[in-house]
Structure 1
Amino acid sequence: MTTLPPGLKPAVLPSPLQNLIVEKLEQSADSVHLSDLHALALQVEHNLRYQHSWTDLHIHTHSPISNQLLPRPLVSGLPPQRLYIHPDEQIELLKNADRKRKASKQAQDTLDVEVAPEPEWVLPTRLNEKWTLRRLSDVFNAISIVPPTADENGTPNPWRTTKRVLLATTDSDSTITYYIVHDGVVKPRQN
């Protein structure tokens, strides 16, 4: 073990996440986006996989609609649970759960509502970026309602009729905050 002279501190080593991002950027040297945007997408992908248990994660550089270059890399994946339920779907799910509860003739105080997760688009951003409606519109125009997945056999959700992205806002301390952003006006949820 090496001892340092008095007054000298050990050098700060890169974090495992920094090492991973550098390694992935070197592997994808042919990326068409700026390396900092691709690194941001890798950081968000890492956060979703290891902090939020998402699966089937992919980084997209081209539009699934036109195959044109996306305004910036987007991430898609499957969250462990549904992120958004349309208000009308929520009412229908509660009615179905109540019917099942009454049919089972068991004394239950709660309704068991089961909702399968859906693939989601994720838009990696930095807190200091200025987003306009035009920039968001450019992103929405380039994506499909649901991201392409390896398993296209699933039944599409008939309630999902508008595009949405999960806006992943990364702060300088690596904290990531997620917001759901819809394309257009969405019916408000009922309390």
Structure 2
Amino acid sequence: MKPAVLPSPLQSLIQDEQLQSDRSHLPSLHSLAAQVQHNLQYQHAWSDLRLHTHAPVANELLPRPLLSGLPPQRLYTHPDEQIELLKEAGRARKERKEGNTSALEVKAEPEREWILPTRLSEKWTLRRLAAVFDGITLVPPEPRSVKEQERPANPWRTTKRIVLATADTDSTVVYYIVHDGVVKPRQN
């Protein structure tokens, strides 16, 4: 008698996604999204991850499945917001103790992000990226469980952005932030 072979957590996630998906995209794209979702959740501690197959506003089919989620810390800070956060941290340090030379404590709350799962072998053009940006909103919709909290929107977030998740054949996933249009460069 052979011992029972249980599926891995990633295989279970892919099977669940395939059962729940509306078959509007190729199964390979759903599997890729499940792989990236698994990587974000278990390797990078993201929370509130959701799969999107349709545009949030127009409810039209997206060019491919996208994910949205909440990273454990802020991924991108607008340069003007960065200056304001540093000024605020400096004022807070002065109030705590005059002459204290401790490091500045700059805290920016994490924001929900769009994630575009891709494969390294794919060829991406500006036209394909533009089609993805056309289908999304500035900020991903909040999950129903978080909506009641009504967190204030970030006034510095003025352009759409996605996290481009590029998976290789060895299951390595690399992440890049891609903005829609020209963005003011950050100060180092």
**Same fold? TM cut 0.5:** yes
Establish whether residue 84 from structure 1 lines up as the match of residue 76 from structure 2. yes
TM-score (norm 2): 0.91
Establish whether residue 119 from structure 1 lines up as the match of residue 127 from structure 2. no
TM-score (norm 1): 0.89
| Segments ≥4 residues shifted beyond 4 Å | 12-15
Establish whether residue 154 from structure 1 lines up as the match of residue 151 from structure 2. yes
For 2:124 and 2:102, the matched residues in 1 are separated by 45
In the alignment, what sits opposite 1:141? 134
CA radius of gyration, larger in: 1
Query: What is the CA deviation profile of residues 140-188 of structure 1, one whole-angstrom value per residue up to 9, with x for unaligned ones?
Result: 0110010001224110000000000000000000000000000000000
Query: What is the CA deviation profile of residues 98-129 of structure 1, one whole-angstrom value per residue up to 9, with x for unaligned ones?
Result: 01101111524200111110000000000000
Establish whether residue 59 from structure 1 lines up as the match of residue 56 from structure 2. no
In the alignment, what sits opposite 1:169? 166
Gaps of 5+ in 2: none
Query: What is the CA deviation profile of residues 59-111 of structure 1, one whole-angstrom value per residue up to 9, with x for unaligned ones?
Result: 00000121100000000000000000001100000000001101111524200
In the alignment, what sits opposite 2:34? 42
Aligned partner (choices 69, 75, 88) of residue 61 of structure 2: 69
Determine if contact 2:10/2:34 at 8 Å carries over to the other structure: no
Deviation (angstroms), 1:13: 8.9
SS in 2 for 1:98: helix
**Structure 2 counterpart of 1:138, which letter?**
A
Determine if contact 2:41/2:47 at 8 Å carries over to the other structure: yes
Query: What is the CA deviation profile of residues 20-77 of structure 1, one whole-angstrom value per residue up to 9, with x for unaligned ones?
Result: 313431x225331110001111111111111111111100000012110000000000
SS in 2 for 1:48: helix
In the alignment, what sits opposite 2:15? 22
**Structure 2 counterpart of 1:149, which letter?**
E
Establish whether residue 100 from structure 1 lines up as the match of residue 92 from structure 2. yes
